[in-house]
Amino acid sequence: MTGPGTIPFFAPDLFEEDREVLLDLVRRTGTAGEQKFILGERTAAFERALSETLGGAEVVACSSGTSALTLILTAMGVGPGDEVVVPAYGCAPLGNTVANLGATPVFADIDPVTMVVDPAEVEAAITARTKALLPAHMFSVMADMPRMREIARPHGVRLVEDSAVAQGGVLDGRPAGTWGEAGLFSFVQVKTFGTAGEGGAVVTEDAELARIVRALRNHGQEGQRFVHQRVGCNSRFDEVQAAFQLHRLPGFPARLERRARIADYYTERFTPLGERGVVPPPPGRNGRCHYVYSLLADERDALKEHLAAHGVSSHVYYPAPLPHQPAFARFAPPGRQWPHALAASRRQLAIPINPHLTDAQVEHIADTVCAFAAGRG
Amino acid sequence: MPPRESVSHTTTDSATDPAAVLSAGPAPGRPVPFFTQAASFEEAWPDIRARVSEVIDDGKYSHGRQVGRLETALAEWTGARHCVAVNSGTDALVLLLRACGLQPGQEVVVPAFSFIATASSVVLAGGRPAFADIDPVTYALDPRSAADAVTERTAMLMPVHLFCQMADMGALAQVARRHGLTLVEDSAEAIGMRWDGVHAGLLGAGGVLSFFPTKTLGAIGDAGAILTDDARIAETAAALRHHGRTGRTLAHFPGISNATELNGVNSKMDDLQAAVLLAKLPRLAHAVRRRAELAAAYTERLRGIPGLLRLPTLVPRDVATDAVFYVYLIEAERRDALVDHLAAHGVGTETYYPVPLHLQPCFSELGHKRGEFPNAEAACERTVALPFHPDLTTADIDTVCDLIRRFYTGRAA
């Protein structure tokens, strides 16, 4: 059953409440006397506002989370001959950003339950050519950043935190994005602090790295216009998006809390289902980000169909481990296997968690998952 | 603002420069910004509002339905078989070069006078720029110098169409053919320009459009597109902009989980920008005609002023060509002093471009020296772009031209 009663996975009414605000911002931006549309005062104000939520870390707004990752790796000098250790399970930019700089992504297997990269696998993947570690927070769970720091330091490798999905998450009192030498956020609409378009940000406490990233995002210009100190790119931030994000920032904590409460409820309902082949993420709030609520189900496709039949849309994020995909085949050593990544790609299923869900919808979704598991006991 | 570096051998010392004395006097007219489209935007607002409302209705804010419609509309407007919308003109160049098969270490011949993206896109796509000089009248790649720049590593030739007219595409196509090079066009500025009826960007493997706000068709943020008649190039570029994912992704959320076939990037266009561009597109033909009138008004008022070394000159070709005035660019003696004079009277200008590409600090490793590309270097010392935008009036042009005349002659017209 799909139709008007279906609970969508990707909410189409994200900014419905902000309709008039957004229209007004577009009009005011288009007709403003200053006619400054990119990297203007509102972008600077947005960067400052985010910085305040991150204990004063530098924030450099750019065109996307993917681009933020490229800017960080470029600023760190990652290039041909270098290796970067990345999770074998996750989003394509983990491999693409490294490969596009001429470096080699080295894939490390994940934890079978939390689906974040396994620290032991990361450490085992380090070689003399390793330039950086790139753990990623995944769905609702932050990677084990304290361990990543412990691993990176003695090996003398850089630590980049792919916190694209984790804005608002806090681990041991420290915000996501500030555990690595540099972190990043994505503002694509589906993220916890999504905007009405593409956008991202680099986060770092390293002022020199921030300076280089600022130059790189705007064609390598530092100071005088049209003089280019380094080969940069165009990865800038639009003023209309900055204004919209400034408008949305005060409501962000409440939206995050709504997500967290839905997750708490789901986990409470689903924890008993483990022996019936449906495994929720672990309970708790520490080190959690609630971007996506992902189950692991032995009979994933049957669960997806069952949900659909009861008016609930769900989504399979990564149908194959990164090294199994054509774009990364040349980085997959013959015979190497990533069994936990493979298992996750066969069992993972995400259910709706966006903050617009009503309590009744959330209960219906939970009931439907429980009913499926009951039928499998 | 820090003081502008003096590039030419001029002085602004008040004892010797009559302009400095004039600068102290009251401005003769109202300020003229280098760029604004505020009034035009307001005029188009009902259409823009309707389009942006559709984006909110759809609930997909990048790579959505308006972006798809813009691709279709631009393909129709330009005559391209395929249009691939991306995040910027620079990204469009990088993805075009990659989709055309540029391999690491291969060279692309580009002009030494252009915006940085002409050369940085080659580096970002894994290649090396090989610089050549420009024609002094069109400011575009000189075919003879381009041929001289070809080596056994050269794979592509990328002319740029700057300001108001296209490069000599007849002669450049011959150079490409003779040396077996792929011809791609940096047509970022060239919407509406045509060569023998063919839109800029479609004379070789493909080209690009930039919708940077000051462009002839401008967004209110960054946006760009690739134009090509080649289905395979379009398909590759379309995958590359969405992380290398094949299959349906446009206006289709679940496409984020499609298999990754290529090492792509995220260069999706915002639907808000597509909405603005779609609302402006029906006005583009009129805007192009209006720009021609404004350019003619400038030329009429500036002709004969001593100190002006060159006004825009459309070069006749042996095929029909369509020019589009994106920028009104002049060459001037004591250029930097003129810029200061105009600024002191509230007139904005832009110096396209103060440093030639071969002398940019980021390309110092290539080992080029001053004197290698004299036309490009001369252009950097003499050119200045005057206010030119959708809201410009002939009264504005009177103001600007009077100030220029006073600068060089010490008196008004």
Nearest to B268 among A22, A198, A315 (CB): A198
* B59/A31 Cβ within 8 A: no
Which residue of chain B comes nearest to A8, CA vs CA? B253
Residue B361: the pLDDT is 97
* Pair B98, B122: CB distance under 8 Å: no
Residue B24 CA to residue B340 CA, distance in Å, equals 12
User: Are A326 and B36 inside 8 Å of each other by CB?
Assistant: no
Residue B32: its chain A contacts at CB < 8 A?
A: none
Secondary structure (3-state) at B35: coil
Give the Cβ contact number of residue B75 at 10 Å: 19
Query: Rounded distance, CA A313 to CA A259, Å?
Result: 17
Q: Collect the ranges in chain A with pLDDT lower than 50.
A: 1-3
pLDDT at B197: 98
How much of chain A exceeds pLDDT 90, in percent?
96
Q: Does A316 touch chain B (CB under 8 A)?
A: yes
Specify whether the CB–CB gap between B213 and B219 falls below 8 A. Answer: yes
Which residues in chain A have Cβ-Cβ distances shorter than 8 Å to B260?
92, 95-96, 322, 325-328
Task: Identify from A2, A107, A228 which residue to disrupt to test chain B contact, counting B C-beta atoms within 10 A and taking the largest count.
Answer: A228
Taking the CA of residue B27 and the nearest CA in chain A, the distance in Å comes to 20
CB B392 within 8 A of CB A261: no
Q: Give the Cα separation of A367 and B373 in Å (integer).
A: 73
ipTM (interface predicted TM):
0.97
Residue B15: predicted pLDDT: 36
Question: Hey, what are B45's tokens?
Answer: 């607002």
Q: Give backbone dihedrals phi and psi of A120, rounded to 5 degrees, phi first.
A: -65, -40
Contact of B395 with chain A, judged by CB distance below 8 Å, is answered with: no
Which helix or strand (DSSP H or E) is residue A212 part of? helix A207-217
Question: Are B269 and B210 spatial neighbours (Cβ–Cβ below 8 Å)?
Answer: no
User: Measured between CA atoms, how close is B174 to chain A, in angstroms?
Assistant: 31
Instruction: Supply the DSSP string of A62-121, one letter for each residue.
Output: ES-HHHHHHHHHHHTT--TT-EEEEESSS-THHHHHHHHTT-EEEEE-B-TTT-SBPHHH
CB contact B255 to A (< 8 Å): no
Contact B259 A326 (CB under 8 A): yes
Please report how the helices A359-374 and A252-270 are oriented relative to each other, as an axis angle in degrees rounded to 10. 20
Look at residue B413 in the predicted model and tell me its pLDDT.
Answer: 64
* DSSP assignment of B307-327: TEEE---PPP-SS-EE---S-
- Per the listing, tokens 């995050």 go with A256
Which token pair is B205?
């493997």
- Cβ of B266 within 8 Å of Cβ of A326? The answer is no
Contact A227 B90 (CB under 8 A): no
A79 has a chain B CB within 8 A of its CB: no
CB contact (8 A) between residue A327 and residue B263: yes
pTM: 0.95
Q: Taking CB atoms and an 8 Å limit, are A239 and B221 in contact across chains? A: yes
Whole-number pLDDT of residue B10? 34
> Quick check: helix, strand or coil at residue A136?
strand
- pLDDT given for residue B2 in this prediction: 40
B335/A contact by beta carbon, under 8 A: no
A92: nearest CB among B60, B243, B353:
B243
Residue A72 phi, psi (nearest 5): -65, -50
Vertex B246: Cα angle to B107 and B250 (nearest 5): 105
pLDDT, one tens digit per residue, over B149-158 is 999 999 999 9
Residue in A with minimal Cα distance to B391: A31
d(CA B145, CA B147): 5
pLDDT of residue B5: 38
CB contact under 8 A, B87 and A219: no
Pairing of strands A158-161, A130-133: parallel
Q: How far apart are CA A110 and CA A312, in angstroms?
A: 28
From the CA of A53, how many Å to the nearest CA of chain B? 25
Of the candidates B223, B213, B277, the residue with the CA atom closest to the CA atom of residue B48: B277
8 Å CB contact between A281 and A139? yes
Nearest chain A residue (CA) to B266 = A66
Render each residue's pLDDT in chain B as its tens digit; 413 residues. 344 433 333 333 333 344 433 444 444 568 999 999 999 999 999 999 999 999 999 999 999 999 999 999 999 999 999 999 999 999 999 999 999 999 999 999 999 999 999 999 999 999 999 999 999 999 999 999 999 999 999 999 999 999 999 999 999 999 999 999 999 999 999 999 999 999 999 999 999 999 999 999 999 999 999 999 999 999 999 999 999 999 999 999 899 999 999 999 999 999 999 999 999 999 999 999 999 999 999 999 999 999 999 999 999 999 999 999 999 999 999 999 999 999 999 999 999 999 999 999 999 999 999 999 999 999 999 999 999 999 999 999 999 999 999 999 988 76
Q: Which of A35, A184, A240 to mutate to test the interface with B (most CBs of B within 10 A)?
A: A35
CA distance B305 to A26: 42
Sheet of B321-322, strand order: B198-199, B194-195, B321-322
Nearest CA in chain B to A315: B254
Give the three-class secondary structure for B90: helix
Strand partners, B131: B110
What distances in angstroms separate CA B223 from CA A216, B89, B122, B220, B267, one per listed residue?
18, 7, 19, 9, 9
Inter-chain touch B355–A226, beta carbons under 8 Å: yes
- Give the gap in angstroms from C-alpha A84 to the nearest C-alpha of chain B: 15
The residue among A241, A344, A311, A364 whose CA lies nearest residue A4 is A311
Determine the residue of chain B that is closest to A105 in CA distance.
B263
Residues of B within 8 A of A328 (CB-CB) are: 260
Which of B52, B117, B264 is opposite residue A219, by nearest beta carbon?
Answer: B117
pLDDT at B411: 81
- CB within 8 Å: A219 and B37: no
Question: Which 203-232 residues of chain B touch chain A by CB within 8 A?
Answer: 213, 219-222
- Interface contacts (A, B; CB < 8 Å): 207
- CB contact residues (below 8 A), chain A span 101-140, against chain B: 102
Q: Nearest-CA residue of chain A relative to B59?
A: A12
- State whether B244 and A92 contact (CB < 8 Å): yes
For chain B, report the end-to-end CA distance as a whole number of angstroms: 32
Q: State the number of CA atoms in the 13 A half-sphere of A272 facing the CB.
A: 8
Eight-class DSSP state of B181: P
Q: What is the pLDDT, as a whole number, of residue B28?
A: 54
Taking a contact as any Cβ pair under 8 Å apart, which residues of chain B between 139 and 198 contact chain A? none
Cβ within 8 Å, pair B272-A13 = no
- Across the interface, of B38, B243, B257, the residue whose CB is closest to A32 is B38
| 3 state DSSP class of A201 | strand
- Spell out which residues of chain A touch residue B257, defining contact as CB-CB under 8 Å: 315-319
Q: Report CB contact under 8 Å: B59, A13.
A: yes
Q: How far is CA A151 from CA A109, A126, A146, A326, B214, in A?
A: 16, 10, 9, 30, 49
Side chain identity at B2, as an amino acid letter? P
Tell which phi-psi region holds residue B26, choosing left (phi > 0), alpha (psi between -120 and 50) or beta: beta
Distance, in Å, from the CA atom of A338 to the CA atom of A106, rounded to the nearest integer, reads 12
A313 in contact with B, Cβ within 8 Å: no
Residues in Cβ contact with B24 at an 8 Å cutoff, skipping those fewer than 6 apart: none
B-contacting residues in A 153-192 (Cβ below 8 Å):
188-190
Which residues neighbour B40 within 8 Å (Cβ) at sequence distance 6 or greater?
Answer: B283, B390, B391
